[in-house]
Amino acid sequence: MAGLAVVLAGCAGQEAGAPPRPSAPAGPVILNDASVGSVLSAITKSGLPAANAHDSTASRCPQAGCVQATDTDTVSILKFPSTGRAEIYAAAVPDMLQVEDVVMVFAATVTSEQKAAYGRAVKDAMR
C-alpha cells in the first residue's frame, strides 16, 4: 500500500506534504500602465503636434477592439487590452506605429522623423 501512495504522489507532480506551487495569474498580465492620456501628455511635452485632442473611445473602440482612443489632427492613439490585439489591428492599418499595446495612426502630413519622435514619446510614457 505504501508503494501505491508513492506512485500516486509522483503522478501529482508534487511531493506529499510540500507547499502548493504558485499557479498562473488569474487576471490579464499588464504590460504597462500607460493610458492614452499619459501618451498624449508625453507627445505634447515632446513638442510634437497633437492639436484638437478629443476622446474617440465610443466611436473607435467597439470596432477596433481597443479600450481607449483619442484622436488629434495629426495622430490617433489607441490603447488595446494586449499586445496581440494591438498587432491584429495594426496589421490592417496603413501609416501607423505600434509600441506594445498602443497603436498610433498618423495623418498623411506627419513626416518619418516625426513618427520616430512620436514612438520615442510613447516609450517614455511607458516607463
The predicted model gives 93-100 an average pLDDT of 90
pLDDT of residue 122 exceeding 60: yes
Average pLDDT of the chain, as a whole number: 81
Number of H helices, E strands in the chain: 5, 5
- Per-residue DSSP letter, 57: H
- Has residue 8 been placed in a domain? no
Classify 121 as helix, strand or coil.
helix
pLDDT of residue 12 exceeding 80: no
Give the pLDDT confidence of 16-67 residue by residue, as tens digits.
554 554 444 444 555 677 889 989 999 999 999 999 999 999 999 999 999 9
More confident residue, 28 or 76: 76
The C-alpha angle 36, 82, 118, rounded to 5 degrees, equals 40
pLDDT of residue 8 exceeding 70: no
Number of structural domains (the chain) is: 1
- Has residue 58 been placed in a domain? yes
- pTM for the model: 0.74
- Has residue 84 been placed in a domain? yes
- Has residue 74 been placed in a domain? yes
- Has residue 60 been placed in a domain? yes
Say what the pLDDT of residue 17 is.
53
| Cα–Cα dist 32/108, whole Å | 29
Say what the pLDDT of residue 127 is.
79
Domain span at residue 74 reads 33-125
